[in-house]
A and B are shown apart, each in its own frame.
Chain A
Amino acid sequence: MSAIREPFSEGESLLHRLDPRGKVAAAAAFSVLVASSRTFATALTGLCLAVVAILCARLPWRKVAARLLVVNGFVLFLWLVLPFTYPGEVVWRWRWFAATREGLAAAGLITLKSNALLLGLIALVATVPLVDLGQALHRLRLPDKLCHLLLFTYRYLYVFEQEYQRLTQAMKIRGFRPRTDLHTYRSYAYLAAMLLVRSHDRAERVYQAMLCRGFQGRFYSLKEFSWQPRDRLFLATAGLSLLVLAGLEWLLPWTLGRTGGG
């Protein structure tokens, strides 16, 4: 039996004990800033901030590395394509491949940004148990529908996984072995369709059960979050760091431009 694992949400570090609302808000601002940055200074500082946050969260580094590996697998493809397709000044040539300075810079920037974002989100968002995350988003005035979509997905993902396991086991015990033939494809199509039908039926029954308990379209949250002094400290630190990031992004090119132009 495999439940949905949230390896990063278990921990006793200071970062784990912070109010999830503050962490989510900081993560959102950080993501926007880093994702929209166009300078190496901002991206690099963002990455440093994210690394500091990860260190504070004291997460199992092997698992963090595994996640990084997945993302950097995609980034590797960018390195194979971007430098050779981006128009600009050619700095390296081999046969008919020509890498441009602009292409290399773009690939480098994307690498920095994606790693900074991933580490930042692991440190700030993945350290919140999903249930608390739903409630925190609710408190941050995210639309009800989105919060409930998140919580319901989380709740029933497990049920669907079990359903899937049951179906595949039922196939296996009758001697099904995947091959590359029409029978295999058809069986998998049946499996997918059956999962869809069952999910639909279950959604209906869940809704009926909710109606039976007087559901009128409103959800109530029992979770109480409370601000601690450490949360204020965190928000102040995060706010300051984000200001530095924003400053690097917008003020630095401006001053450089002024001195360069003058």
Chain B
Amino acid sequence: MHHMEGDPIIAVQHLTFRYPGAPRPVFEDFSFELLPGHHLGLVGPNGAGKTTLLHLLMGLLKPQAGRILIFGREVSTEKDFAWVRQRVGLLFQNPDDQLFCPTVLEDVAFGPLNQGKTKAEAVALARETMAKLGLEGFEERLTYKLSGGEKKLVALATVLAMQPQLLLLDEPTSGLDEATKLRLIHILQHLSIPYMIVSHEREFLNETVKKCCQVHAHCCQPE
């Protein structure tokens, strides 16, 4: 199946997911679509399943029923999701989960190296991405000694260095100060790929996405 211009880049059909031991499913017969070129905000109360949805799309959680299509291709096995992860970037809520290499440059180059790039290519890509995010001079900094805002931006760099075709962001503003938030808004506004943001911050979403959806157990309702 070939992905056609105008086809949804994400299509979730009749998905059911329940955490083991949970009294009721997070999603039941849930359907959802993301069209190309769209910047979408996902909102909803705590526990509505926003993060769960992102993790299902990346194959970190497995649904009990339903289909997930990414770029028109149905994905269900670990191999399918390995393919997805080469093309879709996920920014985790907590950058400490994402940064694990000792130095910033190594961490940003980790993804490109996994994609099969040579060392020189990976380093070049890493430097280029860091320059775009205003992180020049951070190469040899130790990841655990960065401030919260710096960690977030470096985590974003680690994802963008893989040149994803779609970006998923999970609460990107949590714990950021105003200046870093503004930087993030500026970066997202100049990003050429579609993205989806989970956030509770209306002001931030107003600046970064055109449309917001409320996440429910059965569907995402546009607001």
Which A residues fall within an 8 A CB radius of B?
Answer: 3, 130-131, 134, 151-152, 154-156, 158-159, 202, 205-206, 208-216, 218, 220-222
Contacts and interface: CB of A to CB of B under 8 A. Distances in A.
Contacts of A152: 100
Given A134-B102, A159-B96, A215 B114 contact: yes
A205 B102 contact: no
Contacts of B113: 220
A112 to B, nearest CB: 36
* A interface: dominant SS: helix
Contacts of B144: 3, 155, 158-159
Contacts of B97: 202, 205-206, 208-209
B89 interface: yes
B62 to A, nearest CB: 13
B85 interface: yes
Contacts of B154: none
| Interface range on chain B (Cβ under 8 Å from partner) | 35 or more
B175 to A, nearest CB: 14
Contacts of B106: 221-222
B193 to A, nearest CB: 16
B157 to A, nearest CB: 12
Contacts of B90: 209, 212
B162 A213 contact: yes
A210 B145 contact: no
Contacts of A134: 102
* B interface: dominant SS: helix
Given A131-B103, A220-B119, A213 B114 contact: yes
Contacts of B105: 222
Contacts of A158: 144
Most A CB within 10 A of own CB, among B85, B86, B101, B102: B102
Contact of A220 (B103, B110, B158): B110
Contacts of B82: 214, 216
Nearest to B81: A211
Interface in B140-183: 142-145, 158-159, 162
A133 to B, nearest CB: 10
B109 interface: yes
B166 to A, nearest CB: 12
A205 B92 contact: yes
B60 interface: yes
A154 B111 contact: no
A210 to B, nearest CB: 7
B123 A212 contact: no
A107 B219 CA distance: 75
A222 B122 CA distance: 9
B100 A222 contact: no
Most B CB within 10 A of own CB, among A151, A206, A213: A213
Nearest to A4: B144
Nearest to A159: B96
B41 to A, nearest CB: 21
A151 B110 CA distance: 15
B98 A214 contact: no
14 contacts: A3-B144, A131-B103, A134-B102, A158-B144, A202-B97, A206-B97, A208-B55, A208-B97, A209-B100, A211-B58, A211-B60, A212-B92, A213-B110, A216-B114
